[in-house]
Structure 1
Amino acid sequence: MLVSSIGASIVQTVGGAVKIHDMSWVTGSGKTMSALLLVPDGASADDKRPAIVLAHGWWNNKQMQDSNYVELARRGYVVLSIDMYGHASSDPLQEGHEMDAATGMYDGVKEIASLPYVDTTRIGISGHSNGARAANFAIPIDDKAATPLISSVYLVDNDPIYTDETGKYVNYYGDRDVGVQADQYDEFFFRSYDANGVALTAPRDYIGTPNAQSFLHFGADPSGQAARKPYTTYTQSVDGRDAVREIDNPAQTHPWGPFSKQEVTSLLTYFDKTLGAPTAIAPGSQIWQLKEGFNALGLVGFGMFLIAFATSLLGTRAFAGLRAGPAPALVPREGRGLLWFWGSLVVSAIVSGVSYWIISANTAVGTVSFLGDPPINPQGAVWIIALWAALNGLVAIVIMTVSYRVVGRRTGVSLRDIGVLPGWRRFWQGILLGAIVVASAFLIVFVLAYFFTTDFRLWVIAIPTFTPNKLAIAGIYLPFFLLYFLANSVAINSFNRFAIRGREWGNTAVLALANGIAPIILVIAQYSHFFITGELISGFGGINSIWLFPIVVILPVAAVVTRKIYRATGNPYIGGFIMACVVTIVSVSNTLTYTR
């Protein structure tokens, strides 16, 4: 983990040529905002630099923009990457107040404009998904300012504004330069709809739509106008200034945007045209992938630490009693036992996939997933996954109960011998050990973040620092995740541990795959259908498949972590408790928090 943080820090600071500050301040809106400020060497009151404010998408955090802020700062821009209100370390967001200060985007603009080394005539903004929506929200606020601050806008994976309240085409952005990245396989945006809200065009057909053409014609009605193309810069004099419009149209998906070399190249090219990069570096020359590699190494190290520290604590006097005795030789499972093994895996996978689909398709559940129900349920997205997890935990308990009565008890299996009934003393001692492991792991995250301003992440999987209020929020969802991960660990280790072809690792591999097979199938089905037809599977929302991306990794990893700890302790609850705590904390730290 130390190597990860040092390496990521060297890359994001370009070997010390860029200073990075983890900031938190009370804005003019009266809310606390958290952001990363990147200042390149040489920026001063005598050498003012263009500046760019970046905003992540919904249910994310400021580090999600690392590909962009690393490359922009490397080229001499001053960059502020914000946690939008409601996200990560910024204040929670009150329902219905998303437009206030553009969800924090405009407070970020005012902050960066106040810096003495920023050229206030060259301030740009960019956001991904609802971060781009925040950029759209910022425009009318800037229009009303005594001195407008925003001169350039780049919207990634969200529609620009095409019409006014009456439906008439309009130049919403005035004389500002505006670029758009419109993904051909965007799960949410770049469609045209009829009066009943039925989609008429797929995202891959966006460029030819009247909306896109009107945008490229600076808000004019596109009827009778010559068709304009993607990846082309169009200029027009607006209020005495030559303004720019362009649309980039890559064949990629919505969540791919912040993790795409093509997106970074387009953004760098656009801002070089409109703001002018102080340091000339080819847009395709990028190093952020090295940072991602080091960040990913930290993820691996974090998982290894959970196992290594848990097992090392068994050597202490306090936890020596948890160490398992010599394990009996594992034998292959045959006959009815083998049939129950494979049958239970199939049933569990079907229940997992079908239950997720049903939960995703429920309209009421969908509303809660976006808004939550604060204060009881302030994070709707986490609640959806927690509910699904708890349901599958209950199903696992039912399957294990039936399996024990039909097979286990008849073959002389003892629940005490396989760790299901370790005794209350050993149970609570194991929970204490797990709590120490989790606390120590996150302490390392905080210490390394303090010294290196880094965390551990890879695309949609992240282990960040968090504010104290997240622990209280975690307490709301932890019981749901405990129900799943404790039951899952018991199923994997107490009921389904045996040799396959004489090897335990084969059994572990099968169970790891089984843990994640339902989410894997759902993701493959969704995107196969999307790429073939241009649209998502009816009734299976895009956000629901995106939320499965980290789960595809987490569930197989959980099987390995709990198995390793079980082998050392014979106690399935230790690993299950550790995984439940880690997943809960990570979930509540990387998403949107609403208040009322």
Structure 2
Amino acid sequence: MTRKTTVLFIALLLVFGGGTVAYLVQTDGGSVETRDVRFAAPDGQMIHGTLYVPPGASADDPSPGVVATHGYINTRETQSPFAIEFARRGFVVLAIDQAGHGHSDPPAFGNGFGGPPALSYMRSLAFVDDDNVGLEGHSMGGWASVAAAQSDRDGYESVALVGSSTGNSGVADGNATFPRNTAVVFSEYDEFSMLMWGVPHASNVERSEKLQTLFGTDEPVEEGRTYGSLEDGTARRLYTPSTTHPGDHLSTTAVGDAVEWMQVTLDGEDELPPGNQIWWLKELGTLASLLGGVLFLFPFGAMVLSDRRFSDLRRTVPEPAGVEGRSWYGAVAVAALVPVVTYFPLNLVGQGFVPISWLFPQQITNGVMVWALGNGLIVAGLVGAWHYRSDRDSLARYGFDTDGWRTVARSAVAAATIVGGFLGTLGAVGYLFGTDFRFWVFAMKLPTLTQFRIALVYLVPLTLFFLALELLLHGQLRTGDRSFREALAHNWIAVVGGFVLLLAVQYGVLLAGSPSPFGQPLLTIVALQFVALLSIVTAVSTYFFRRTGRVWVGAFVNSLLVALVLVAGTATHAPL
């Protein structure tokens, strides 16, 4: 076999082998049935979810149920560690896409984040004991749980707030009697301690006045102690696993704490110990699929470009014309730091000043769009000034030459074909196994038709950014006779290195016991996803430039891929 055929085989083996593992874990070896479901809120907004039905659940012998809800700019799959472990213990689990997230209809935040209609739907199922239902939610999903409890105060038995709180974004304040039988699983290094419980650092959460009000005490809350009465519905317990806010999704301790609380407060479940967990094997399976899906882009892209219809897109890589010597190190440092220095302010400008509308309906993506446009202008300005001041050769040395619009158009077609093949593998995994490409907080999901339409709008500014990035990487920073590995490593440092440094500072200080120095917990968590996504971007850019000798295919593949990943993975705020 040729090398690209071998790599393609390995990629597909990872994609479908990982999907098989993820499916077997998610269904507990096939014993738990998983179903895609959808149901309407009172105003007609459709909420989508995955229903986990354990063996033995029936109308004659209904099982206890748990509604599991993810946090902001996530989807139902991030709750799978909790859902898998609940289902293994005999709970029927409904893991929903919050309103405006995943496959649920926009707008975000509608119908109590989707919590109240989810509770109503769960209680309507004949094989669920409607007097024996728990609510578990992470972050904003905890607010969905509180909203559900507020909407039907007799329709649930207990609540597990994971990285969450009461009394936020319109949901009711907590006290010694509401919500019923509540556990707070709040990690020792949770980034949202001020938002959730009004303390600067999560290690002091037991001293939060808001938490003390929930627990009905004037003293610091004791971790692990049960306050109140299970029989009266006033039980309270605090857990503080040693992890971060997004780390709750990778913590056997956090998952075990939520499982333990549901076992304590609901009847009829299997008494499998909370520490007996297998969900992490699904994470490894979807990680393998993710790695395989990304790897697939390269041999498949090579096959597309080897087709005679795209033969005019390939040429010899031009001689480098970048900076040299010590100036190169300075240019790399500037390239790595400017995107990070502008990351918080430009994202906040985009979120705050680009109005939510049918044209730009996603607040988080609006922030990324403004950041991308701002950095594209900065790169174009700096590289352009360097180019003309240095009296360099024409831009053809940077791969920006064309044979007319035909080159650009055919490059766009080739990029669409390559990304289409990637989406085909993603769709196949979803159809066969009910999974996607993901690890932890980073996911590549198949977009809905609505999300695809939204992505086409954001595609234009993102394309401008990726063309500017190509100019930087393959113009100013490309020097000497470097191997592919060397070029990839150097480009990764320029594109991703600054974000790694930012996260090291933010989390280094946080883990040392102080609040993060730059604040912005949500954008800091988004930066974790930036590291993964920009690493893929760097590999795509480097590979396709060396494959074609031009910037067009790499820039178009990246803009399509990133637009679709961003839009499918975040929240839509405008009603569409």
TM-score by length of 1: 0.87
Whether the 8 Å CA contact 2:290–2:437 is kept in 1: the answer is: yes
Task: Flag structure 1 segments of 5+ consecutive residues without an equivalent.
Answer: 194-198
| Structure 1 position 114 matched with structure 2 position 114 | no
Whether the 8 Å CA contact 2:350–2:371 is kept in 1: the answer is: no
| Structure 1 position 247 matched with structure 2 position 235 | no
Tell me the equivalent position of 1:556.
535
| Structure 1 position 546 matched with structure 2 position 525 | yes
Please point out which of 162, 172, 177 is paired with 2:181. Answer: 177
Please point out which of 129, 136, 143 is paired with 1:126. Answer: 136
Whether the 8 Å CA contact 1:49–1:119 is kept in 2: the answer is: yes
Tell me the equivalent position of 1:305.
296
Aligned-partner SS, 2:296 = helix
Whether the 8 Å CA contact 1:340–1:403 is kept in 2: the answer is: no
Percent identity for Structure 1 against Structure 2: 27
Whether the 8 Å CA contact 2:324–2:479 is kept in 1: the answer is: no
Whether the 8 Å CA contact 1:160–1:180 is kept in 2: the answer is: no
Please point out which of 356, 371, 375 is paired with 1:388. Answer: 371
Q: Is the alpha carbon distance of 1:191 and 1:323 closer, same or farther for their aligned partners in structure 2, counting shifts above 3 Å?
A: closer
- Distance (whole Å) between structure 1 residues aligned to residue 64 and residue 99 of structure 2: 25
- Distance (whole Å) between structure 2 residues aligned to residue 527 and residue 150 of structure 1: 37
Whether the 8 Å CA contact 1:234–1:246 is kept in 2: the answer is: yes
Please point out which of 432, 437, 449 is paired with 1:456. Answer: 437
Q: Is the alpha carbon distance of 1:216 and 1:323 closer, same or farther for their aligned partners in structure 2, counting shifts above 3 Å?
A: same
Aligned-partner SS, 1:127 = strand
Cα offset, 1:212, TM superposition:
2.5
Tell me the equivalent position of 2:466.
485
Task: Flag structure 2 segments of 5+ consecutive residues without an equivalent.
Answer: 1-14
| Structure 1 position 284 matched with structure 2 position 275 | yes
- Distance (whole Å) between structure 2 residues aligned to residue 231 and residue 118 of structure 1: 29
| Structure 1 position 347 matched with structure 2 position 334 | yes
Whether the 8 Å CA contact 1:303–1:561 is kept in 2: the answer is: no
| Structure 1 position 13 matched with structure 2 position 27 | yes
TM-score by length of 2: 0.90
- Distance (whole Å) between structure 2 residues aligned to residue 562 and residue 192 of structure 1: 40
- Distance (whole Å) between structure 1 residues aligned to residue 396 and residue 269 of structure 2: 68
Cα offset, 1:495, TM superposition:
4.2
- Distance (whole Å) between structure 2 residues aligned to residue 31 and residue 357 of structure 1: 33
- Distance (whole Å) between structure 2 residues aligned to residue 155 and residue 486 of structure 1: 44
- Distance (whole Å) between structure 2 residues aligned to residue 463 and residue 535 of structure 1: 31
Q: Is the alpha carbon distance of 1:108 and 1:432 closer, same or farther for their aligned partners in structure 2, counting shifts above 3 Å?
A: same
- Distance (whole Å) between structure 1 residues aligned to residue 151 and residue 86 of structure 2: 25
Cα offset, 1:190, TM superposition:
5.4
Aligned-partner SS, 2:453 = helix
Tell me the equivalent position of 1:577.
556
Letter paired with 2:176: N
Aligned-partner SS, 1:70 = helix
- Distance (whole Å) between structure 1 residues aligned to residue 72 and residue 327 of structure 2: 42
Cα offset, 1:345, TM superposition:
1.7
Tell me the equivalent position of 2:222.
229
- Distance (whole Å) between structure 1 residues aligned to residue 391 and residue 263 of structure 2: 68
- Distance (whole Å) between structure 2 residues aligned to residue 37 and residue 357 of structure 1: 38
Residue by residue over 1:204-232, the C-alpha shift from the partner in whole angstroms, topping out at 9 and shown as x without a partner, is 11113333233223xxxx34x6x541122
Cα offset, 1:366, TM superposition:
5.1
Cα offset, 1:522, TM superposition:
1.7
Letter paired with 1:452: F
- Distance (whole Å) between structure 1 residues aligned to residue 418 and residue 257 of structure 2: 43
Tell me the equivalent position of 1:439.
420
Please point out which of 525, 534, 554 is paired with 2:514. Answer: 534
Residue by residue over 1:5-49, the C-alpha shift from the partner in whole angstroms, topping out at 9 and shown as x without a partner, is 222111111111111112223343311111001111221122211
Whether the 8 Å CA contact 1:52–1:78 is kept in 2: the answer is: yes
| Structure 1 position 508 matched with structure 2 position 488 | yes
Aligned-partner SS, 2:121 = helix
- Distance (whole Å) between structure 2 residues aligned to residue 581 and residue 356 of structure 1: 21
Q: Is the alpha carbon distance of 1:228 and 1:24 closer, same or farther for their aligned partners in structure 2, counting shifts above 3 Å?
A: closer
Q: Is the alpha carbon distance of 1:277 and 1:420 closer, same or farther for their aligned partners in structure 2, counting shifts above 3 Å?
A: farther
Aligned-partner SS, 1:448 = helix
Tell me the equivalent position of 2:3.
none
- Distance (whole Å) between structure 2 residues aligned to residue 462 and residue 408 of structure 1: 44
Whether the 8 Å CA contact 2:157–2:233 is kept in 1: the answer is: no
Whether the 8 Å CA contact 2:99–2:111 is kept in 1: the answer is: no
Aligned pairs (5 A) from 1:354-393: 354-359=341-346, 365=350, 367=352, 373-393=356-376
Q: Is the alpha carbon distance of 1:454 and 1:64 closer, same or farther for their aligned partners in structure 2, counting shifts above 3 Å?
A: same
- Distance (whole Å) between structure 2 residues aligned to residue 563 and residue 422 of structure 1: 19
Letter paired with 1:156: V
Farther off after superposition, 490-499 or 373-382: 490-499
Whether the 8 Å CA contact 1:101–1:138 is kept in 2: the answer is: no
Cα offset, 1:172, TM superposition:
4.7
Residue by residue over 1:478-502, the C-alpha shift from the partner in whole angstroms, topping out at 9 and shown as x without a partner, is 12211121221232234433447x6
Letter paired with 1:346: A
| Structure 1 position 188 matched with structure 2 position 192 | yes
Cα offset, 1:533, TM superposition:
4.7
Tell me the equivalent position of 2:155.
149
Aligned-partner SS, 2:48 = strand
Whether the 8 Å CA contact 2:134–2:156 is kept in 1: the answer is: yes
- Distance (whole Å) between structure 2 residues aligned to residue 448 and residue 391 of structure 1: 36
Whether the 8 Å CA contact 2:49–2:96 is kept in 1: the answer is: yes
| Structure 1 position 211 matched with structure 2 position 225 | no
Letter paired with 1:399: L
- Distance (whole Å) between structure 2 residues aligned to residue 367 and residue 405 of structure 1: 36
Whether the 8 Å CA contact 1:344–1:399 is kept in 2: the answer is: no
Aligned-partner SS, 2:152 = helix
- Distance (whole Å) between structure 2 residues aligned to residue 202 and residue 567 of structure 1: 47
Aligned-partner SS, 2:365 = helix
RMSD across aligned positions (CA): 2.7
Whether the 8 Å CA contact 1:93–1:593 is kept in 2: the answer is: yes
Tell me the equivalent position of 1:416.
396
- Distance (whole Å) between structure 1 residues aligned to residue 467 and residue 456 of structure 2: 16
Cα offset, 1:103, TM superposition:
1.8
- Distance (whole Å) between structure 1 residues aligned to residue 146 and residue 38 of structure 2: 24
Whether the 8 Å CA contact 2:193–2:199 is kept in 1: the answer is: no
Letter paired with 1:521: L
Residue by residue over 1:291-328, the C-alpha shift from the partner in whole angstroms, topping out at 9 and shown as x without a partner, is 11111111111211211111111222211222334x57
| Structure 1 position 85 matched with structure 2 position 90 | no
Letter paired with 2:357: P
Please point out which of 55, 60, 63 is paired with 1:41. Answer: 55
Letter paired with 1:305: F
- Distance (whole Å) between structure 2 residues aligned to residue 543 and residue 7 of structure 1: 31
- Distance (whole Å) between structure 2 residues aligned to residue 388 and residue 85 of structure 1: 26
Tell me the equivalent position of 2:88.
74
Cα offset, 1:270, TM superposition:
0.8
Residue by residue over 1:142-173, the C-alpha shift from the partner in whole angstroms, topping out at 9 and shown as x without a partner, is 13xxxx221111111112359x9999x84352
Residue by residue over 1:366-406, the C-alpha shift from the partner in whole angstroms, topping out at 9 and shown as x without a partner, is 5458xx52223211111111211121122222233233324
Please point out which of 492, 514, 518 is paired with 2:498. Answer: 518
Aligned-partner SS, 1:594 = coil
Cα offset, 1:252, TM superposition:
2.2
Q: Is the alpha carbon distance of 1:200 and 1:256 closer, same or farther for their aligned partners in structure 2, counting shifts above 3 Å?
A: closer
